[in-house]
Amino acid sequence: MEEGKKRMAVLVGCNYPNTQNELHGCINDVLTMRDVLVNHFGLDLSHIQLLTDAPAGGSDHIMPTGANIKKALGEMIDQAEPGDVLFFHYSGHGTRIPSVKHGHPFRQDEAIVPCDFNLITDVDFRQLVNRLPKGASFTILSDSCHSGGLIDKEKEQIGPSTITARGSAHSDDHKPKSIPFATILQHLSSLTSICTHEIGTHLLELFGSEASLKFRLPLHDGSILWPELLKPDDGILLSGCQANETSADMSPSPGGGGKAYGAFSNAVQTVLKEHSGQLSNRQVVMMARERLQANGVEQHPCLYCSDKNADAVFLWQPQENN
């Protein structure tokens, strides 16, 4: 990597403590990833922003609300210059919502679930990628359910497995990182007291201009709002599972010690630690798939990016002699 080029990261872990949706390993995931970024990739700690829904070290604790996450990502992209490497790691719940696109009444779109339920959708991530300066890269690692396709219209490189399976571990020590659409709708309805199944109505009522672009602008088929959608770009998505699968939040065995963790985050972090050399985005996803399969976890990580970036080095790690 050329001298002077920046590498920046936003790490978000949502455990939803003291709620019926509580997870246990998501904050651990991003804390471990912070260590990997600093120790393995040489990122400056001051270039890593951490957002968690419980204090996790550091004096500047920022809650991972929808607005705060989008602000952190937007500021990172605003600082980017050609050649910079941007990284977003999300560990938390994901969901699927009915498509609002014209002609897709039965299609479902992907979203992540911040701690305040202000959903961040595939369209929001597409908009962020479209703002990227030419020559910079933006890698998203999403350890959440239904995360395949989280960047709208990004090209699939490694997709649905030939073995059809809805992701679930073969053990009792996991919880799916998924909140059903009906549960989200019920929660938002209780806050707005509006009687409608249109989730966008509730989100706009609660969050206004901070709600997802999906509900604030007419998308039609996407071509009017995002004319550059189908051009190759430097958005890179490593998803914890296929769009129709769940990702596992693993808890340690009773009395066995250890920490809770996300199955996909742990697989990627283990792969990176075990290989001192450079790995391509394709290699990271395939090795993570193999590790999950060996551990009996039935979820299939996917890769979405341009052909060029599929075989580009993960996070464009600099040469060892630099």
Q: What residues are annotated to the active site?
A: 93, 145
Q: Which residues pair with 8 in a beta bridge?
A: 86
> What phi and psi values does residue 122 have, to the nearest 5 degrees?
-60, -30
- For residue 146, the tally of other CB atoms under 10 A from its CB is 29
Both tokens of residue 268? Answer: 């990627």
E strands, the chain, in order? 7-13, 48-52, 85-91, 94-98, 108-112, 120-121, 137-143, 156-158, 168-169, 174-176, 235-239, 248-250, 261-262, 297-298, 302-304
Instruction: Give the SS3 label for residue 236.
Output: strand
Q: Which residues pair with 90 in a beta bridge?
A: 12, 142
3-state SS, one letter per residue, for 1-48: CCCCCCEEEEEEECCCCCCCCCCCCHHHHHHHHHHHHHHCCCCCHHHE
How far apart CA 143 and CA 12 sit, in angstroms, is 10
How far apart CA 50 and CA 196 sit, in angstroms, is 35
How far apart CA 204 and CA 217 sit, in angstroms, is 11
